[in-house]
Amino acid sequence: MRLKVLLPTEVLIDEEVTKITAEAVDGSFCLLPRHIDFVTALVPGILTFETPEKKEHILAIDEGILLKCGKDVLISTRQGIKGEALGELKKTIEENFLVLDDREKNARSAAARLEADLVRRFMELREHGG
């Protein structure tokens, strides 16, 4: 299989692999070369892949999308970090990727409150003949 991990500013990984393990919304999964084509949403977590030389590599990735089509596996994610130590990468995920999710949730919540307030004010104006 050909694995490409695409970040907004660069191609992080572009190489031949024999096995990929990742985390989706509904749990971890493994891809092998003859796996059926599919698409899934990835959650922040650890992605591992094995090269034809049987060397295992690990990445910390943010949420993203994985597409397997034929022999190509494309992963698009906002952030990704190569690493050697699993513990360090898990810490990176907790400190960086999951914090961004909390910030994003807070921002979306604030935007929803602003939208609701705007709609309420328009309705008040309409009731008063404005």
| Integer Rg of the chain from CA | 20
State the Cα–Cα distance between residues 57 and 16, nearest whole angstrom: 12
**Nearest alpha-carbon partner for 81 in 93, 68, 94:** 93
Query: Which domain does 25 fall in, by range?
Result: 2-127
Residue type, 17: V
pLDDT, one tens digit per residue, over 54-68 is: 999 999 888 889 999
Angle (CA) 31-16-9 rounded to 5° is 95
- Residue 100 confidence (pLDDT): 55
Number of helices (H), then strands (E), in the chain: 2, 10
Note if the pTM is more than 0.75: no
Residues 9-37, mean pLDDT to the nearest whole number: 94
Range of weakest confidence among 14-18, 32-36, 61-65? 61-65
- Residue 72 confidence (pLDDT): 95
Place of tokens 């602003």: 114
pLDDT, one tens digit per residue, over 87-96 is: 676 766 666 6
CATH number at residue 98: 2.60.15.10
Mean pLDDT of the chain: 84
- Residue 94 confidence (pLDDT): 67
Place of tokens 């022999």: 71
Work out how many domains the chain is built from and give that number: 1
Residue type, 58: I
Q: Which two tokens stand for residue 126?
A: 């309409």
